[in-house]
């Protein structure tokens, strides 16, 4: 029976996360990791015992040697800010849940964002964190699209990374064709694009998105470049 138990498997499916569940899940991920990081950086140095061994000499009755208490060096963290997600970043991470339907995709999204920001020079990272809403929203949109909707992400990322003069016409044609197909996922993607773009015109938003495409593309197995 134990052997047969391994043969029979019962597949099951869970419903996608709703927006409230997604926001709570992201908050739990980032909050738990921030808590662990803070505990690690504030951990007191551990102590260990070192015995002072006497030099070799003529055989004699050994004297009692008291162990010496030596403090271990505190852990060194070169740039802890690379890994800390701010409240502003957390808020933007929570905005793109419509593109990420499963906990696995949501966690991958957070991990990729951490990798991307950790690879940035300090000045550039600080500019992103404290800069314009449009900049960070478009980056989150690209990353979430790349992780949660890879088929659509491939199309959009490759269109954005094309020759500069062709980007706007290609995006417009892509939007028209997807609308004609009645693709429900495309409506969600387009809605998130409009919210990320904000009041900026299409050319300005495209220019911002294009700046992030090469970096986002590094974490995609499908996009070119």
Helix (H) or strand (E) holding 91: helix 87-93
Residue 114 confidence (pLDDT): 92
DSSP secondary structure of 17-55: PPHHHHHHHHHHHHHHHHHHHHHHHHPPPPEEEE--PPP
CA distance 117 to 147: 16
Express each pLDDT in 75-128 by its tens digit: 554 556 677 889 999 999 999 998 998 999 999 999 999 999 999 999 999 999
In the predicted model, is pLDDT for residue 165 greater than 80?
no
* Beta strand spans in the chain (E): 47-50, 68-71
Percent above pLDDT 70 for the chain: 71
DSSP state of 182: T
Express each pLDDT in 4-38 by its tens digit: 556 667 777 778 788 899 999 999 988 766 555 55
Separation in Å, CA 158 to CA 113, 164, 222:
20, 12, 9
CB 25 within 8 A of CB 17: yes
Residue 68 confidence (pLDDT): 58
Residue 51 confidence (pLDDT): 47
Separation in Å, CA 168 to CA 182, 188, 205, 207:
21, 20, 10, 10
When pLDDT is cut at 50, 70 and 90, the band that residue 225 belongs to is: very low
Residue 218 confidence (pLDDT): 87
The distance from CA 54 to its chain's CA centroid, rounded to whole angstroms, is 54
Burial (CB < 10 A; 0-12, 13-18, 19+), residue 107, is middle
Please list the residues that pair with 50 across neighbouring strands. 68
Please list the residues that pair with 47 across neighbouring strands. 71
CA distance 64 to 48: 19
Express each pLDDT in 174-215 by its tens digit: 877 887 888 888 888 888 888 888 888 888 888 999 999 999
């Amino acid at each position: 029976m134990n052997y047969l138990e391994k043969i029979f498997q019962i597949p099951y499916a869970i419903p996608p996360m709703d927006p409230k569940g997604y926001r709570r899940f992201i908050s739990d991920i980032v909050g738990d990791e921030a808590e662990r990081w803070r505990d690690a950086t504030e951990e007191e140095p551990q102590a260990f015992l070192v015995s002072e061994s006497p030099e070799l000499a003529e055989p004699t009755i050994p004297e009692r040697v008291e162990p010496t208490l030596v403090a271990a060096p505190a852990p060194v963290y070169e740039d802890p800010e690379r890994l800390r997600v701010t409240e502003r970043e957390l808020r933007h991470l929570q905005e793109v849940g419509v593109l990420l339907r499963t906990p696995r995709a949501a966690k991958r999204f957070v991990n990729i964002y951490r990798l991307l920001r950790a690879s940035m020079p300090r000045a550039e990272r600080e500019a992103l964190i404290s800069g314009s809403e449009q900049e960070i929203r478009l980056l989150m949109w690209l990353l979430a699209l790349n992780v949660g909707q890879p088929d659509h992400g491939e199309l959009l990322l490759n269109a954005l990374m094309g020759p500069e003069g062709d980007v706007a016409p290609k995006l417009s044609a892509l939007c028209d064709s997807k609308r004609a197909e009645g693709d429900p996922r495309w409506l969600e993607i387009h809605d998130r694009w409009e919210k990320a773009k904000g009041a900026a015109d299409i050319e300005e938003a495209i220019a911002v998105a294009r700046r992030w495409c090469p970096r986002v593309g590094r974490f995609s197995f499908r996009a070119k470049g």
